[in-house]
């Protein structure tokens, strides 16, 4: 994948997760500083862990301050327009699902750049897509989605498998990217709409 395409995906993913983090924080009635912190950790949490695991330091957002500025501007814009958006829950879900697809693909591509096996690349994609949301939900005293019955990490894993299957058909990288991101996004919507879930275990 060309560097410019990866940068576009990371930018869109950062915006999506910054919006979802901001809305999650506003649902809990945090002050503007709290909203900014939650937006920040949601956006950079997964990528930070991924880069640390790969030994790619300083991590991405420390090398490029533009990502921090992007999160800052996105958070303020979300706060400003919150009165125009009444359905916080729906907005949070849509942007969280979009960010999940974008960052999963980005994590997979980063693993490929480091010459890692498909299985490890899929794991990195899942970490990149999910970990920011885990930190967000933990800070907001909510059970993270990845630990609940909703199809969340499973969507990342299935998307990763689909990505490597598509590569065997020699499709262009751009087409693969669009299909995988759309697949993860639509799978999340279908799973929530029809209440599809993995089985729960308990006493």
pLDDT number for residue 151: 84
Helix (H, G, I), strand (E, B) or coil at 140: coil
Sign of the Cα torsion 80, 145, 95, 189 reads negative
pLDDT at position 110, please?
Answer: 94
93 confidence band (pLDDT: 50, 70, 90): confident
pLDDT per position as a tens digit, 104-150: 999 999 999 999 999 999 999 999 999 999 999 999 999 887 777 67
pLDDT at 183: 96
Question: By three-state DSSP, how is residue 149 classified?
Answer: coil
Structure tokens at 97: 């699902």
Rounded-to-integer distance, Cα 1 and Cα 19, Å: 26
d(CA 186, CA 144): 20
Q: What pLDDT shows up at residue 195?
A: 78
pLDDT tens by residue, 14-47: 999 999 899 899 989 999 999 999 999 999 999 9
Report for 27-31, 49-53, 196-200: range of highest mean pLDDT? 49-53
Tokens of 16: 């999506």
Domain positions in the chain: 3-193
Of 90 and 84, the structure prediction assigns the larger pLDDT to 90
pLDDT of residue 3: 54
Q: How far apart are the first and last CA of the chain?
A: 47
């Amino acid at each position: 994948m060309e560097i410019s395409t990866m940068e576009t995906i990371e930018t869109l993913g950062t915006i999506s997760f910054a919006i979802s983090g901001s809305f999650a924080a506003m649902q809990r009635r945090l002050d503007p500083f709290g909203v900014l912190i939650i937006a920040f950790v949601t956006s950079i949490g997964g990528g930070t862990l991924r880069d640390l695991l790969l030994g790619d330091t300083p991590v991405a957002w420390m090398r490029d301050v533009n990502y921090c500025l992007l999160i800052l501007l996105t958070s303020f814009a979300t706060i400003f327009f919150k009165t125009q958006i009444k359905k916080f829950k729906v907005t949070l879900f849509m942007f969280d699902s979009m960010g999940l697809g974008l960052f999963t693909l980005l994590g997979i591509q980063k693993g490929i750049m480091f010459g890692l096996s498909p299985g490890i690349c899929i794991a990195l994609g899942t970490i990149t897509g999910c970990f920011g949301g885990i930190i967000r939900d933990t800070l907001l005293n909510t059970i993270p989605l990845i630990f609940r019955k909703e199809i969340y990490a499973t969507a990342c894993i299935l998307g990763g498998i689909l990505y490597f299957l598509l590569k065997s058909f020699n499709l262009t990288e751009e087409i693969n990217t669009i299909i995988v991101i759309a697949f993860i996004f639509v799978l999340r919507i279908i799973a929530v709409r029809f209440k599809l879930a993995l089985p729960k275990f308990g006493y």
